[in-house]
Amino acid sequence: MKLGRGSAVSRVDDTGAGPALEVTDLQAGYGALRVLHGITLSVAPNEVVGVLGANGAGKTTLLRAISGAVRPQGGSVVLHGRTVTGMPDYELTRAGVGHVPSGRELFADLSVDDNLMMGAHSVPAARAGELRDRVLELFPALGSMLDRRAGALSGGEQQMLAFGRALMTDPSLLLLDEPSTGLAPAIVASLFDALRQLIAEGGMSVVLVEQNAGLALEVVERAFVLRQGRIVLAGTAADLGNDTQLVDAYLGA
C-alpha cells in the first residue's frame, strides 16, 4: 500500500501548529473483547504526555492501536494532520511512530547491532549512521556489546536496546510502554536520564505509559489516567502530582 502523498516517507505538516498526534474516539480490542471504549487525546509537537493506569486498564492496547500493532475497531488516529487509522505497523514506523513495546520484543538471536539496524531499515544509510552514533552516546553500555546476542543481555540492557531500536526509526512520535517495569532502580534512573536528554533536545513528541505514576509525572507535562479502557482523569503533571490520592485511587488494581 502506498502512503497518502505518494512518497515513501511523508511527514505532512511537521512544521505546522497542529497536533503531532490526534486520537479521536478510539476503540480497539482483541476479537470480541473490546478494551478501549472511545479514547480521545492529542499530543502537541515536542510535547511529552503520560498515560497512567492500573494493570489491565488498556495502556498497552492504546499504544498498540496507535503504532499499528493492533487494528482499531473504531475512531481515528491522525499523525501530523494525516489520517493513519488502520495502517500496518511498518507504514506507521515510516510515518514517524517509534514504539518501545511492552516486553521489548527484541530479536533474541540477532546481535545488539543487528537489532539496532533492524530499526533503521527504512531510514537512509547516512541518517542511520547518525542515529546509531546518537543511540550509543545515550546508551554507552550498548557500544561494548554490539556483537552479543540480544537474548543474552540483562533486562536493563534489553530495555536500552529496545529504546535504541525505536530511536533508530528516526521517530517524530515516540511511544514508550512501561520502560521501568521489572528493572532495578539504578537502571530505571539511567533510562529516564536518557529520556530526559532526548526530551531536552526536542524534535520529538513522547507518549510515556507507566504504572509508576510518580516516575512518569517527573518527566511528562500532562497525563491521562486510564481505567477500564476509558480516560477518567486528565491534567497537567503538576495538578495530578498535587492530587496523588485521586491518582492513586485509579491506579489501585
Ligand X SMILES: Nc1ncnc2c1ncn2[C@@H]1O[C@H](COP(=O)(O)OP(=O)(O)O)[C@@H](O)[C@H]1O
Which set of grid coordinates corresponds to residue 23? 486520537
Q: Is residue 59 within the footprint of ligand X (CB under 6 A)?
A: yes
- Taking only Cα atoms into account, the Rg of the chain, rounded to an integer number of angstroms, comes to 17
Q: What is the C-alpha separation between 184 and 105, in angstroms, rounded?
A: 20
- Judge contact between 75 and 25, C-beta under 8 A: yes
CB nearer to Mg ion: give 19 or 179.
179
Q: Would you say 35 or 223 has its CB closer to ligand X? A: 35
Comparing C-alpha atoms, which of 165, 224, 166, 156 is closest to residue 193?
Answer: 156
61 part of the interface to Mg ion, by CB under 5 A: no
Judged by CB, which is closer to ligand X: 55, or 197?
A: 55
CB of 55 to ligand X, least distance (A): 5
3-state helix, strand, coil in the chain (%, to 5): 40, 25, 35
By CB under 6 A, residue 174 contacts ligand X: no
Cβ distance to ligand X smaller for residue 57 or 199: 57
CA distance 18 to 197: 25
Size of the site for ligand X (CB under 6 A): 11
Strands (E), 133-186: 173-177
Of 27-35, 103-111, 131-139, 216-224: span binding ligand X (CB under 6 A): 27-35
CB of 29 to ligand X, least distance (A): 7
Binding segment (CB under 6 A) for ligand X, from list 51-59, 90-98, 155-163, 166-174: 51-59
Residue 58 binding: pick among ligand X, Mg ion, none (C-beta 5-8 Å cut-off by kind): ligand X
Q: Please tell me the distance from the alpha carbon of residue 156 to that of residue 117, in angstroms, as a whole number.
A: 19
56 binds ligand X (CB under 6 A): yes
